Structure 1
């Protein structure tokens, strides 16, 4: 069970939520035995959120997941005081699920590439020959891919995505961009042999397997770029620090065959 939880960020987030809820529940029970004072539900929810966020960080989740864990229960308690129908919460849950579907199947949550990374990607792509082919493995809603496609109109850009809502958003945004294609396709089913640059912002879990795939499929001289996440046992040929709040960096490997 612990091994499975380490592989799936969504499951770790759930463990953090359950652990925090149990700890707060135990603390409230013990406090009730010792004194007549009772905290408000909102105060208890804030305590649970703080614990859940701390546990999420302890379990190695990204800051995005930590903030989600911190705010989930307090937001739920605040919303429960408003005259909202129950289907609103169901829709919220489904929305999050559709955006993070690949957290379960591919162990890859939704990470959005920041502005600093986009600027550095432009600098790196300017060093490529004209009419290069670029693929984003897990393109999310397509913001980064479309931005690059606009700046390099002579090159071809492909994004693959399996989270249904993220794919739909990216596909609709790319309809009027002739040099940009969005595919509803798993990165593991994608042939990388036709691309000069492969970009990914995934998670630690799939990186070793991704390395095996890129070594087998990418042509000699092509470039693999990973946002933040290292490949175990493989020293990057180049690192570009982004100096953002996430302490992100771009790691680059040149395929040598």
Structure 2
């Protein structure tokens, strides 16, 4: 039961990694003080804790972006502990990260941003659609990719859904001038996929099996499900497009059967 709880809430996995690393480094610092002559500085101990926490997070199965957060968290606190900063600064920073990555706590979907190569490949794929096609981005983030595509295909209709509060506000404000693009504050699980010719997502491994079941039940025959990097377990993609970016990303495409 504990494993299921931690798997559903990756923030708890990150917290577990931080606590384990803190205890281990604390024990090592204590032993060094009791039995040795070497005394590590607090900042050095913090860096060691960060490296250990980041490594443990990877062992626990956290996404790659958590590695940097686990690495920097304690060293950053120690580095800033002597600075004349109000505690509200730390609270504000935490709140900002929370509002931008709300999805990672409940839906296991962190904030991933589609790169320039991804946009261009998506545009190339969309040229094969009828001019008035409909496109939805499940978890659109700040809507950079969605708005870029909407400007490339003015006859098509683009929809983005997002549930991270601050990210949604940013995306909605950016979309106001673009008449063929709408942003909804809506969970991807409540989004009806039947109206879209193309469904795009850049999520995480965790929801892909459930998303496939949803797509099979709602999407029309001949429509496309496109996932950036993450596979549907046990279902080979009908087409793959290598993006050749620094993340070694790829687009995986499934055409809905009749």
User: What TM-score does the superposition give when structure 1 sets the normalisation length?
Assistant: 0.97
Partner Cα distance (1:84, 1:40) in 2: 22
> Cα offset for 1:92?
0.5
- The question of 1:185 aligning with 2:192 is answered no
Question: Secondary structure of the equivalent of 1:193?
Answer: helix
Contact 2:8 2:107 in 1 (8 A): no
> Cα offset for 1:37?
2.7
- Specify every segment of 5 or more residues in structure 2 that has no aligned partner in the other structure, as ranges: none
Partner Cα distance (1:11, 1:149) in 2: 37
Partner Cα distance (1:197, 1:5) in 2: 33
Partner Cα distance (2:10, 2:16) in 1: 10
Partner Cα distance (2:177, 2:170) in 1: 13
Aligned pairs for 1:27-42 (under 5 A) are 27-42=28-43
The aligned residue for residue 141 of structure 1 is 142
**1:141-194: per-residue Cα shift (whole Å, max 9, x none)?**
111111111111111100000000000000000010000000000111110110
Contact 2:58 2:64 in 1 (8 A): yes
Contact 1:236 1:251 in 2 (8 A): yes
Aligned pairs for 1:197-216 (under 5 A) are 197-216=198-217
Aligned pairs for 1:46-85 (under 5 A) are 46-85=47-86
The aligned residue for residue 99 of structure 2 is 98
Question: Secondary structure of the equivalent of 2:24?
Answer: helix
- Specify every segment of 5 or more residues in structure 1 that has no aligned partner in the other structure, as ranges: none
Q: Give the RMSD, CA atoms, in angstroms.
A: 1.1
The aligned residue for residue 255 of structure 2 is 254
Aligned pairs for 1:158-197 (under 5 A) are 158-197=159-198
**1:35-76: per-residue Cα shift (whole Å, max 9, x none)?**
243211110111011111111222222221101111111111
Partner Cα distance (1:110, 1:166) in 2: 9
Partner Cα distance (1:120, 1:234) in 2: 22
Q: How many residues align?
A: 257
